[in-house]
Structure 1
């Protein structure tokens, strides 16, 4: 994809994320009234998730009718296109529904076999992370970089857990980190875990299995902030999910070894 094509989509994605964020924030403040469904174990979806994804797809489809889409709630459309938007309208729905302000809108663009645009917006804190290929990463327009930490004893790793996987390896990962004197956090939003790695609030983020819509934006943002990212798109990662590890370049080999990362 040409640079100018990426550039116009980059600015559009930020506007779309803010617009969807406003819609989600309105629902957040009346969350007790929302219709909610259970998709699986500890996996909820509300009418707000679907309304936000419809708003995002509708706007982007109007602006870029040739692009494809892969969304958490509405599925895939034209994914053989040259550019495919990967959308999580509300990442951290459980937090959203509980009134915990750790949730966000996440938009990534896949082109040329890589994530070339990433936008993550938390409407509660009004923090917008944005990056596009080769141009660095920003938070509310200010350049960001990954943490300068060099040792595990001064580090904190964000971790996530999917009920598609047995709990034993997750518990073992926590033990391994603590034995290495590395702190950990479980935020309930993979997208924010990656965003916080990009701006140095965390030294990394790991999850043994996560879906593409949770990480598409964050992988671009972390990479452009100077971080190292695992090969999430290996195999059928785009459609079936994969393991993910992002980190500072210095600590990536250590985290990878401790957690026995496969990719």
Structure 2
């Protein structure tokens, strides 16, 4: 991924911003960790399985307290609070608890992701796993990391050896989603993973633990941070017809390399 740093966007500024984002994500993560295991009341949003809890709201409050203080001129889009516009070219996108469904039913697979964009280009991201006390981060053109360790996708190239994560919006077509999963299965993929923790799926791809991701219109809070992390670890992206995509496209395929990516395109058509 090419670097874009200049007088307007300096690497030093982005590094400082990333440190703030890490602090914010960890603050939200402490709130989330404190609620895990409790029986929390759920408030429905768009769908029966799309809801918000006190953990989401408490995490968001802790995160926004940091971001609004440290980024007084940046736009902020947070999943529950919505858009805080300051007419800036810089926007921070926050998911205070990615994997709320898992959290509520006691599955320890959820994270706190935050991404920074300049206009429509991803600049930096952090994904914090509260239970593992693990921080994943990336800066455009500077690589992907877990802690201080550099991340790289693996080199598996065969569909039959590949675990593929599937993620979709609550509003996406159920029959179309099932059709994609069925096609991938028929073409011999090793396993289809539907973890309902999209940000962590990208962490696994970037860490070489899985090979590919199919994103059928997931919300921006769910994938912006992870998308940059995976790209900086060497992942490749395209749309469902094999064409080039940009950072803000919300339907795409992602794999550890071009060879497997091409096989994904063939499989779902």
Same fold (TM over 0.5): yes
Equivalent in 142, 150, 153 of residue 146 of structure 1: 153
Aligned to 2:184: 177
How is 1:106-255 mapped onto 2 (pairs within 5 angstroms)? 106-182=113-189, 183-230=191-238, 231=245, 233=247, 242-250=250-258, 251-255=260-264
Equivalent in 15, 18, 22 of residue 14 of structure 1: 22
Give me the whole-angstrom Cα distance separating, in 1, the residues matched to 2:266 and 2:24.
Answer: 39
CA shift for structure 1 position 245: 2.3
What stretches of structure 1 move > 6 A for 4+ residues in a row?
none
Q: Say if 2:24 and 2:64, in contact at 8 Å, map to a contact too.
A: no
1:92-131 per-residue CA deviation (whole Å, 9 max, x = no partner) reads 1000001101110000001153111111111112221111
1:135-161 per-residue CA deviation (whole Å, 9 max, x = no partner) reads 101112211101210111110100023
Q: Secondary structure at the match of 1:188?
A: coil
Q: Say if 1:153 and 1:181, in contact at 8 Å, map to a contact too.
A: yes
Give me the whole-angstrom Cα distance separating, in 2, the residues matched to 1:213 and 1:79.
Answer: 19
Aligned to 2:10: 2
Question: Structure 1, unaligned stretches of length 5 or more?
Answer: none
Give me the whole-angstrom Cα distance separating, in 2, the residues matched to 1:162 and 1:99.
Answer: 22
Q: Secondary structure at the match of 1:90?
A: coil
Change (3 A) 1:2 1:254: same
Q: Does 1:50 align with 2:57?
A: yes
1:215-255 per-residue CA deviation (whole Å, 9 max, x = no partner) reads 11011101110111343555xx5xxxx21322112312221
Task: Judge which range, 163-172 or 132-141, deviates more.
Answer: 163-172
Q: Say if 2:73 and 2:86, in contact at 8 Å, map to a contact too.
A: no
CA shift for structure 1 position 4: 1.4
Q: Say if 1:70 and 1:76, in contact at 8 Å, map to a contact too.
A: yes
Q: Say if 2:199 and 2:226, in contact at 8 Å, map to a contact too.
A: yes
Equivalent in 81, 85, 93 of residue 86 of structure 1: 93
Normalised TM-score (structure 1) = 0.90
Normalised TM-score (structure 2) = 0.89
Give me the whole-angstrom Cα distance separating, in 2, the residues matched to 1:47 and 1:244.
Answer: 32
Give me the whole-angstrom Cα distance separating, in 2, the residues matched to 1:172 and 1:209.
Answer: 15
Task: Judge which range, 123-132 or 148-157, deviates more.
Answer: 123-132
Change (3 A) 1:214 1:232: farther
CA shift for structure 1 position 5: 1.1
Number of equivalenced pairs: 252
Aligned to 2:242: none
